[in-house]
Amino acid sequence: MTSGDEDKRSANGTKGRKGTVIFVGGTAYSGSTLLDMILANDPAGHSCGEVNCAVHPYLPYHVDPECGCGDAKCPIWKDIARHPQDAHEHLFRVVEDVGYLVDSSKDIPWIKRNADRLLRTGFDVRHVLIWKTPAEYYRSRKKRGEEHHWAESWLNYHRAYMSLIKPFVAVRYADLVQQPGYLQRLCSDIGLEYFDGKERYWERTQHTLFGNSSAKIHLHSEESAEFHRMSSELDTHESTVAERPRHALYYESDDEDLPDDLPDSCRHTRPVGSIAMVWPGAFRGRICNTCA
């Protein structure tokens, strides 16, 4: 590690601690994989993806997973399933020169349990919740043919998250990818160093495990087998590859009317504000003005 990297590790809040773990919560299709890789885009950062799926696999492809870097011999995730009680500590041991990890596991009890343990044992922990409005979330589910019980899923996740996880920073996906200066403010709020180009997560090797292919496809060259595999997967429910921007953050505007089953309490799409820090007793990071 160079002296410059050492300075960056200190600037990212790891000095005097064992290390930092940033948990990125959010529903499916909320942008958590994208935000995971953006926040970890730093010489001191490591994008983990959904660690809980590797430690507690519940789908066939969760068992003996291949690293997101594409190298079949990459050793980072080789023994992760043997560490159900100390997965993050294990990653700090096996990843070289890491100052902070970003874990985008969506499972709220997993986040709570591991955050509490890490804090007790001398690590720094930070929480970020990335969210979409009900209309945005509905559209993400609809284009994948998963509209069933979408409203209950949206409400239940955010209610549970905000009941159990505090403090956290709330990030609206549309603002992250559309608003100039938003990422810089977010980094300031969670204590990370910002630099021009931090959003270009595809410019470094990422070891992200699992997560959304629409974000991970940018990590691979158009000639690679991984790119073609992800392209085929995405073409089953999204725009064609030719219509999607390459190496760019993008947002598809929602031109559809709100669905009939949208709860009355969510028949609005106005966010509370830009980035809101939530502290116990000061519930300022609500998803919207009436929910939760």
Residue ranges of domains in the chain: 3-278
What is the average per-residue pLDDT within 9-17?
47
- Does the structure show a pLDDT above 80 at 218? no
pLDDT in tens, 121-176: 999 999 999 998 888 888 888 888 888 888 888 888 998 998 999 999 999 999 99
- Taking every pair of Cα atoms in the chain, the longest distance, rounded to a whole number of angstroms, is 58
Q: What is the mean pLDDT of residues 72-79?
A: 88
What pLDDT sits at residue 288?
Answer: 41
What is the model's pLDDT at position 134?
A: 83
Q: Which of 74-88, 107-121, 201-215 has the lowest mean pLDDT?
A: 201-215
Span 3-278 CATH architecture: 3-Layer(aba) Sandwich (3.40)
| pLDDT > 70 fraction of the chain, expressed in percent and rounded | 66
pLDDT tens digits for range 24-75: 999 999 999 999 999 999 999 999 999 998 888 777 767 777 888 888 888 8
